[in-house]
Every structure is written in C-alpha cells, then in structure tokens.
Amino acid sequence: MECVFGLVGNGFAIVVADTSAVHSILVHKSNEDKIMLLDSHKLIAASGEPGDRVQFTEYIQKNVALYHFRNGIPLTTAAAANFTRGELATALRKNPYFVNVLLAGYDKETGPSLYYIDYIATMHKVDKGAFGYGSYFSLAMMDRHYHSGMTVEEAIDLVDKCIMEIRSRLVVAPPNFVIKIVDKEGARQYAWRESVKDAPVPAA
C-alpha cells in the first residue's frame, strides 16, 4: 500500500512519500514521515517492512555522518548511493532488508540527482522513479507529463497530479503525503498533502 516517488528538475530534486503506518488491515497512524534527511543536501525516501525501513535508513544516516566526521568532507550523492547499494548487497547474502530506496541529493559540481535502489541492491541513476502500489499511477503520470528542466512550480503541479491519481484510482490509497525538496539551499520539507488528520492524544 506504500507510495514513494521522486523526480529531478532544474536545479532541484523532489521526493514524495505517503505517511501511513499500516499493518495488515489496520492503519496505526497517518503522519509517519518516511523521508529522512541523510545530511544537509541529501534525502532518503524508503518503502518496505516498517522495521527494516526505520533501522536501515537510520543505519545509512549515521554512517554518512560518521564518514563526514572522520574525513572532514561529506559523501557525494553518488557515493552515498553506492554505499547504500553496497550495504543492501552485503545484507542480501546474510539477513536481507526488505526495503526500497529513492536517494536524492544536490552536489555543487554535478547538481541534483536521484538514485533508485531496490531491495535486491539494484541501483540506477534516474530522472524519475517510484516504488509501491502507487508507482503504477505515479509512473504513468510522470511518463506523460515529466520533461527535463522542470521548474519547482511545474514539478509540484505534477506531484499533485500523481497524488490525485493515486487517491482516485488505488483502492487502498493512503490519504496523506509529505513532499521534500533538495537544492543548492539544502534539503528540507516542502509541504504536506493531507486529507486525514490524526486525532490528538488526550493528556493523561
């Protein structure tokens, strides 16, 4: 039921993920952020088994930070993607992680980039990519409307079209999505698209 997708525009990359925490037929919460900041200019969006997703993305985040701490320079987006792929490949032969990853980043020398890494450690540099049931609809919309050199406004419009298509066509569509962007200014949350709000927990 998960939906994760992303695209590269003119000087930026955007990643989008649903925010539903689901087990079997139960929805536990609708505000789970599945896009983690790896560092100031990198985002990692993940889908898969909840435990694997949280543990693996935190493991990658801490190792990227450790590399920066030891060497005094951050990993490039390509290096972080190759490290992530290598860890998935190593785990595949021991105790595999059932997690799929879209890794987006911005480098001064090469600009924005997006990497597609699946649970069997296949990696591709892509202009657009998606995972989950929502990928059937978001990929179709992006194939139709995506073009290189998109502005932020055009990309957000396309993201909203993908979200609307998922909500209207997917029988188990998640209600809420989080949108994050990375560009020369850094990685940050851009917006939420909410149709359901979790009720606040009353104070004891």
pLDDT (tens digit, 9 = 90+) per residue, 108-140? 999 999 999 999 999 999 999 999 999 999 999
Contact 99, 140 (CB under 8 A): no
Query: What pLDDT does residue 198 have?
Result: 65
Query: What is the four-CA torsion angle of 74, 77, 80, 82, rounded to 10 degrees?
Result: -140
Can you give the pTM of this predicted structure? 0.91
Closest CA to 104 of 32, 38, 49: 38
pLDDT at 16 over 90: yes
Share of the chain above pLDDT 70, in %: 96
Distance CA 31, CA 81 (A): 26
**Cβ atoms within 10 Å of 140's Cβ, excluding its own:** 14
Contact 64, 75 (CB under 8 A): yes
Q: Who's near 45: CB < 8 A, 6+ residues apart? A: 4, 6, 15, 16, 17, 34, 35, 36, 101, 102, 103, 104, 180
Rounded to the nearest integer, the mean pLDDT of the chain is 92
Is residue 173 very low, low, confident or very high in pLDDT (cuts 50, 70, 90)?
A: confident
pLDDT at 201 over 60: no
Query: What pLDDT does residue 29 have?
Result: 87
> Which amino acid makes up residue 191?
A
